[in-house]
Amino acid sequence: MILLVLILILFGAALLSWVAGVKSHAASRWIALCSLLVNLGIIAGVWIEHSHSSSSRWWYQFRMDWVPHFGISLHLAMDGLSMLMLALTFFLGALAVLISWKEIQTRVGFFHFNLLFVLCGITGVFLTMDLFLFYFFWEMMLIPMYFLIGIWGHEHREYAANKFFLFTQAGGLLMLLAILGLYFIHKANTNVYTFNYFDLLNTPMTPFMERWLMLGFLIAFLVKLPAVPFHTWLPDAHTEAPTAGSVVLAGLLLKTGAYGILRFVLPLFPAAAAEIAPVAMLLGVIGILYGGMLAYAQTDLKRLIAYTSVSHMGFVLLGAFAFNEIAYQGVVMQMITHGISTGALFIIAGALYERIHTRNLRQMGGLWLRLPMMGSAAMIFVMASLGLPGLGNFVAEFLVLLGSWQANHVLTILATIGLVVATAYSLRIMQKVFFGPCDRQYAVPDLNGRELVIIIALVIVICWLGFHPQPVLNTSQNIDYVVR
Amino acid sequence: MIGTAFYIAALIAVLSTVMVITRYNIMHALLYLVVSLLAVAVVLYLYGAPFMATLEVIVYAGAIMVLLIFFVMMLNLGKESAAQEKLWLKPRIWIFPSLLCIILLGELVFLVLQNRQPVSGVQVVNPKEVGIALFGPYILAVELTGMLLMAGIVGAYHLGRQKEKTLHRFLENNQS
Amino acid sequence: MIVHPTTAGMLLAGVLFVLGLISILVRRDIIFMLLSVEIMLNAAGLAFVVASSHWGTADGQVMFIFILAMAAAEVSVGLALILQLYHQLKTLDSDEAAKMNG
Amino acid sequence: MFPALIPLIPFIGAFLLMLGWKRFDRIGVTVIGCGSIALAAIVAIIIAMQFATNGEQAIVQHAGNWLEAGGFKTGFDFRMDALSVVFVLVITIVGFLIHVYASGYMHDEPDYARFFACMNLFVGAMLTLVMADNLLLLYFGWEGVGLCSYLLIGFWYKDPANGYAARKAFIVTRVGDTAMAIALFMLFQYTGTLSIPGLLENSTHIWSANDGVITIIALLLLGGAVGKSAQLPLQTWLPDAMAGPTPVSALIHAATMVTAGVYLIARTHTLFELAPAAQTTTAVIGAITLVLAGFSALVQTDIKRVLAYSTVSQIGYMFLALGCGAWSAAVFHFVTHAFFKALLFMAAGAIIVALHHEQDMFKMGGLKKQLRSVYWVFLIGCASLAAIPFVTAGFYSKDQIIWLSWSAAGGHVGFWLAALLGALLTGMYTFRMFFLVFYGEEKTKVHHRPGGSMMIPLYVLAVLSTVAGFIELPHTMGHVTLFSNWLQPVLPAVSMLHESLAMEWTSQALSALLALGGIGLAYAWVVKHPKGMSDFLEMPAIMWLRGYWSRGWDFDELYNVLLVRPFVYLSRINKRDLIDTLYTGLAAFMEWCHNVLARTQSGLLRWYILGVVLGAVAILSVLIWRIYI
């Protein structure tokens, strides 16, 4: 029941903040913030309650028939992985509301409606155990996100929004086909119509069929992840989205792809997934190196950060198909830390844009003089992004690489070289933005109180994950990974 | 069992139709069309459909053509219109469509000539049978036709009326 | 040579139809186009009657009547439209009425 | 006392300085900055005493779990054994002296707090590195010092050249780190642990000597060490790193961080002993580096670059020693080198400040009278670097290496010759620098003399550079083995190939003679016959050679052509993302199709009819074709 409450709170708050936004902008913002904080509180409670008992894998289950005739049910369940993802969702969601406090001044109510609706969809994706419902939530994330980019974005927002929508929608349709295929094959083999994840888990099917259905799921998730060569929607969408949109995109939406691979592709089609593992790992490595190289070349700050996402999510793909527990733990870690660090970088880029009204690296430089606090924060997250030990990303990347080494030596070596590339592009951010000569005399204020709160929260989390990742690792340990 | 009458009527029909499509002056074309229709009425008669022949003469040659003639007279299209037609009808324009149509004709002819049935006489279908069929199995179609005619009347009235408003509102919107 | 009457009638209908088609293709004057449509309708009607006599049934003739009615309605509405067009564009050139190009 | 306190105190200092950069005034920053290091030094000394009285038992503290996943487990384990104690003491004591010096050197710097925050952070990371009980924690310190090195080289961030040097340092060392990371993966795969004692223990069971896997692992570790310690082929970053403030060069790029590679190899010596090929590679790299860097140092004009190349060269000696199996000799040279190189850098810094940030030696000269105190400490430093016999620490440590490079089990006469050549070069470039700076005519006016906070550390180090040598004397001169005895529990004694007193005498005499000869040559070159020499130096071939050497044997250019430019070029041309072009191309193709099809929508009635006719013709054709033909 608590799972349904999580979704309903967001849904209700979304409607409420829209209505309230007509009268008062502040009310809309507060409603959004409070709903997310309440959810965050609930999740924190759940986590504390379950942090010691590792008795059962599924902490909560909720099941209600929806369309029993077709075997569709309202089936929600939470395990460690869902819980971690939800914690990240609500944390970043709250920050997204905070960061748009001053940035968004038009159609405030509708903005928060969309934001909460996206988060609602993401929550659903992380919780649902019914494939039909999963597809429903999967599509539900898209449309408000489309509006977020298309209405409150930067100058090329419509192009970016359309591109985002087309790519993810195309992937989603493939997934729908695969879901229906699985549904009918299950019916043919067992004479039961069901969309239930647990029932579908051990559907007997021919290797040929399994391969194609797996591809349908995998491509949808690869588009979302995004893996090369399906990544090209990402830089545009990230660049053009408002800061909150970028944070939600990078921090959460990409994670649904990774989550999908861990939750659906691997358990549903273990044999086919094992078969395609080398290819998938190769795609991950290509993503790491290619994304890094593209990031290095960019002159638009947000675009640069967007490409670093491609690079970082390559590690997720690499680890997910390494089929051993260390790598899986690393993948879960990477999902969380990438959400935090890249989200933080987008927040910094947004704050910078608010101040100097440009994202062009060529027009920046020497800003440390004016913005030492922002510079320090940027330094921390840049270091996180290049994998400095002591910050969360290092733990994640190290575990992924350590795990994938057991699976494939050559690809792991290439991925490790990606760390050098990461250094190159990460340091470029610092050099171009905060160091170097100061051509333009920007007279801009440093971080204000609200931004400081956001940044400090993020810094604390990333350091906590870097020095004491054990709670997260313990929680994600509880999952039945497919280990070869 | 077709005879000379058919050939003559057919020849007149084809010739006058050719004249219709080659005239520059609309009035001439219309009159040739009346001739063509009358010739077709003869053919209809020869094919055992006297009632249809009558209708052809009355409705087609009589009513519809006369309507057209009056309409053309009302528009008062004069010599410049004919000159315009002459200008438009250049070989460069008509040669390709005509070729295409002749190919089509060839195909039609080929298909028609596939008829390998033994030669028999023309069967007469008298108007009574037509009437029974019309108000028997085709009653619904007849009513629909009535509605079509009704719609034609209303439409013609609506479109053709010219009060203070000279433009139809859709056209007006398009223009603005 | 003995020609089957149906064949002959059908050939005549085909020729008339194609002539109308040629006309509608090469003409730009919209009244001529309406005229050509009449030729083609008439040819089609002729074909129905020929078929009717071939089978010895009334259906073809019934169709002819419907075509006739349809032609009447078409001409009346068509003429009204031409009238509007003429007032609108001050010409009968059908190519002028090409606002719906893509 | 907890060993974890030693790195923790500087970290706390750094943390305080970061948070309170606005609130503390200059004195507060100095107190926290220097005080934290002093405190760490005191704690280190106490723990070292504790350890000394304890006997051979290493003090290990488990300060907490770090991460544990799927059979992989590491914690924040700090270890104090003989080797760590040596490094910790050197780092804290020299670090403290340099901090004190920096408080004078950086006195007019507006970003004073940031400087000390980074310095403290560095000391903390460095201490973590040398005290780590598992390789992951060592890696943590390893990357941490890299970060601080980056931050401090680029400390004066307004000059893009500094930023470039900083990034170069970080990226080049990161290349080595990558190799090291892979070594960690392999070690975990085979030994199932990253705990240093554990994996060293396991390694002897798993591998026999000369096993292929262990050789690869050792070579990868060597790659990491080479990156950090600026050895061939990753030495290029160190000379550029001199863009940082001088105390940084003294602390990071001379005394401590660059010797992390030496520490790593010494720490994992068991692995290298199992892989003689890797060990020989280490020695070869050391020998080549020390000679190449010596030649480069000979022709530099920037005083700090001379010292930088000399650092590379001296670390080459350490690697040579490691490669020959003379573990304690390498560590001994590290200690003396830390003292005299820090001394030299700081003295050079004093000169640079005195001449108002002039670093070109050819614009200095005749400073002997002006800066008499600096002259003396600089002389002591130079003497120690050039290994003048009997009175300097450098003599004892370097001579040991030279002798062992031939006589030790892993030694070779080629190494010995390279080391001797290095000794000659060292004498030459050191005293060329010395004479250029202090003799000859005065070219630049002295602005102000260094104050007490800068001079006192210099005096202390000058004393240390002299007396530190006496803790380890060769067979031929008293045979004191305090230092190697101390390290005995951790680092095995060197196994000798030749053990002949006469040979040792010869070697020592030869190296001393060569060092003195080098000094003599320098004297002749710079002071006695500057005219004659300059004629010789102006010869085209010599000019070319000088340029080639001074550019560091064009390694920079090589890497630029091979790696940097292709990467930058590829990323530049691909800025718009080729794959995206695929998709935009698809979209453009669709749009083109749309345009083509839209053109058929001409609005011309006859056009549409033509379409109908065409369709009819086509359908009938198909019909006829299918039925009748």
User: Which candidate in D592, D604, D614, D617 is best for mutational testing of the C interface (most C CBs within 10 A)?
Assistant: D604
In this predicted structure, which of A155-164, A461-470, D77-86, D531-540 has the lowest mean pLDDT? D531-540
Shortest alpha-carbon distance between residue C36 and chain B (Å): 8
Do D369 and D480 belong to one domain? yes
User: Which candidate in B7, B52, B90 is best for mutational testing of the C interface (most C CBs within 10 A)?
Assistant: B52
D83 in any annotated domain: no
Contact D55, D488 (CB under 8 A): no
Do D361 and D481 belong to one domain? yes
CB proximity under 8 Å: A 315-344 to D: 324-326, 328-330
Interchain touch D–B (≥3 Cβ pairs closer than 8 Å): yes
Q: Which pTM does this prediction carry? A: 0.84
B61 in C contact zone (CB under 8 Å)? no
Please say which residue of D509, D530, D551 terminates a domain: D530
For chain B, the average pLDDT equals 84
Contact A265, A218 (CB under 8 A): yes
H helical segments located in chain C: 5-26, 30-55, 59-89
Shortest alpha-carbon distance between residue C55 and chain D (Å): 23
Q: Identify the pLDDT of residue C1.
A: 59
**Which string of b and e fits B8-30 if b means at least 16 CB within 10 Å?**
ebbebbbebbbbbbbbbbbeebb
Mean pLDDT of D362-374: 79
User: Which candidate in B103, B108, B113 is best for mutational testing of the D interface (most D CBs within 10 A)?
Assistant: B103
Which chain C residues are Cβ-neighbours of D603 within 8 angstroms? 97-102
Mean pLDDT of D286-306: 88
Q: How confident is the model at residue B1 (pLDDT cuts 50, 70, 90)?
A: low
Q: Do the chains contact at B166 and C12, CB–CB below 8 Å?
A: no
- Label each residue of D326-393 as H, E or C: CHHHHHHHHHHHHHHHHHHHHHHHHHHHHCCCCCEHHHCCCHHHHCHHHHHHHHHHHHHHHCCCCCCH
Do D584 and D453 belong to one domain? no
Q: What is the DSSP letter of D490?
A: T
Flag whether pLDDT at B72 surpasses 70. Answer: yes
Give the nearest partner residue to A416 out of D65, D181, D572, using CB atoms: D181
Q: How confident is the model at residue B83 (pLDDT cuts 50, 70, 90)?
A: confident
Written as six digits, the tokens of D18 are 């970061």
Q: Identify the pLDDT of residue C81.
A: 87
Q: Is D150 helix (H, G, I), strand (E, B) or coil?
A: helix
Which chain B residues are Cβ-neighbours of C42 within 8 angstroms? 36-37, 40, 56, 60
pLDDT digits (tens, 9 = 90+) for A95-144: 999 998 888 888 889 999 999 999 999 999 999 999 999 999 999 999 99
Q: Do the chains contact at A406 and D189, CB–CB below 8 Å?
A: yes
Do D545 and D585 belong to one domain? no
Domain that holds residue D611: 576-628
pLDDT digits (tens, 9 = 90+) for A18-39: 998 888 888 899 999 999 999 9
Q: Identify the pLDDT of residue B150.
A: 93
In this predicted structure, which of A67-81, D18-32, D270-284 has the lowest mean pLDDT? D18-32
Q: Identify the pLDDT of residue D361.
A: 80
Flag whether pLDDT at B174 surpasses 60. Answer: no
Do D409 and D451 belong to one domain? yes
- Cα distances (angstroms) measured from residue C60 to each of B44, B130, C45: 12, 9, 8
pLDDT digits (tens, 9 = 90+) for C69-97: 999 999 989 988 888 888 877 777 877 77
Q: Identify the pLDDT of residue A482.
A: 59
How many domains in chain D?
Answer: 3
Shortest alpha-carbon distance between residue C22 and chain D (Å): 10
In DSSP notation, D85-135 reads HHHHHHHHHHHHHHHHHHHHHTTT-TTHHHHHHHHHHHHHHHHHHHHBSBH
Do D587 and D552 belong to one domain? no
pLDDT digits (tens, 9 = 90+) for B130-168: 899 999 899 999 999 999 999 999 988 888 776 555 555
This model of the complex carries an ipTM of 0.78
User: Which candidate in A293, A329, A414, A482 is best for mutational testing of the D interface (most D CBs within 10 A)?
Assistant: A293
Q: Do the chains contact at A473 and D69, CB–CB below 8 Å?
A: yes
Mean pLDDT of B65-86: 81
User: Which candidate in D606, D607, D613, D614 is best for mutational testing of the C interface (most C CBs within 10 A)?
Assistant: D606
D130 in any annotated domain: no
B89 in C contact zone (CB under 8 Å)? yes
Written as six digits, the tokens of D94 are 């020299």
D448 in any annotated domain: yes
Listed by start position, the domains of chain A span 289-477
D309 in any annotated domain: yes
Mean pLDDT of D364-375: 80
Do D520 and D546 belong to one domain? no
Do D550 and D506 belong to one domain? no
The CA distance from D59 to D119, in Å, is: 27
Q: Identify the pLDDT of residue B162.
A: 66
Do D567 and D584 belong to one domain? no
Mean pLDDT of D340-346: 89
For chain D, the average pLDDT equals 85
Flag whether pLDDT at B175 surpasses 60. Answer: no
Give the contacts of D185 (CB within 8 A, at least 6 positions apart).
Answer: A401, A402, A405, A412
**Which helix (H) or strand (E) segment is A243 a member of?**
helix A243-248
For chain A, the average pLDDT equals 88
- Cα distances (angstroms) measured from residue A62 to each of A6, A76, D400: 12, 5, 75
pLDDT digits (tens, 9 = 90+) for B88-108: 777 887 888 888 889 989 988
- Cα distances (angstroms) measured from residue D138 to each of C72, D77, D196, D229, D534: 98, 10, 10, 15, 49
Q: Do the chains contact at C52 and B125, CB–CB below 8 Å?
A: yes
Give the nearest partner residue to D617 out of B100, B110, B114, using CB atoms: B100
The CA distance from B49 to B125, in Å, is: 6
Write down all domains in chain C, each with its CATH number in brackets.
9-92 (1.10.287.3510)
Q: Which amino acid is at D587?
A: A
A 10 A CB-CB count for D488 gives 14
Q: Is D81 helix (H, G, I), strand (E, B) or coil?
A: coil
Q: Identify the pLDDT of residue C40.
A: 93
Q: Identify the pLDDT of residue A180.
A: 92
Flag whether pLDDT at D209 surpasses 90. Answer: no
pLDDT digits (tens, 9 = 90+) for C23-51: 988 888 888 889 899 999 999 999 999 99
Which chain B residues are Cβ-neighbours of C66 within 8 angstroms? 141, 145
Taking CA–CA distances from B102, the nearest residue in chain D reads D617
Do D501 and D606 belong to one domain? no
B115 in D contact zone (CB under 8 Å)? no
Shortest alpha-carbon distance between residue A147 and chain D (Å): 22
Flag whether pLDDT at A53 surpasses 70. Answer: no
Q: Identify the pLDDT of residue B176.
A: 42
Using an 8 Å CB-CB cutoff, list residues of chain D that contact chain B: 606, 610, 613-614, 616-617, 620-621, 623-624, 628
Mean pLDDT of D127-155: 90
D258 in any annotated domain: no
Q: What percent of chain A has pLDDT over 90?
A: 43
Flag whether pLDDT at B4 surpasses 90. Answer: no
The CA distance from B114 to D387, in Å, is: 117
Flag whether pLDDT at A175 surpasses 90. Answer: yes
Angle at D581 between CA D580 and CA D583, to 5 degrees: 65
Interchain touch A–B (≥3 Cβ pairs closer than 8 Å): no
Interchain touch D–C (≥3 Cβ pairs closer than 8 Å): yes
Direct distance between the N- and C-terminal alpha carbons of chain C, in angstroms, rounded to an integer: 53
D603 in any annotated domain: yes
Do D369 and D340 belong to one domain? yes
Which chain C residues are Cβ-neighbours of B68 within 8 angstroms? 31, 34-35, 75, 79
CB proximity under 8 Å: B 108-147 to C: 108-109, 112-113, 115, 117, 119-125, 129-130, 132-134, 138, 141, 145
Flag whether pLDDT at D427 surpasses 50. Answer: yes
Q: Which of D368, D265, D355 is nearest to D319 (CA)?
A: D265
Give the contacts of A382 (CB within 8 A, at least 6 positions apart).
Answer: A345, A426, A427, A429, A430
Do D301 and D386 belong to one domain? yes
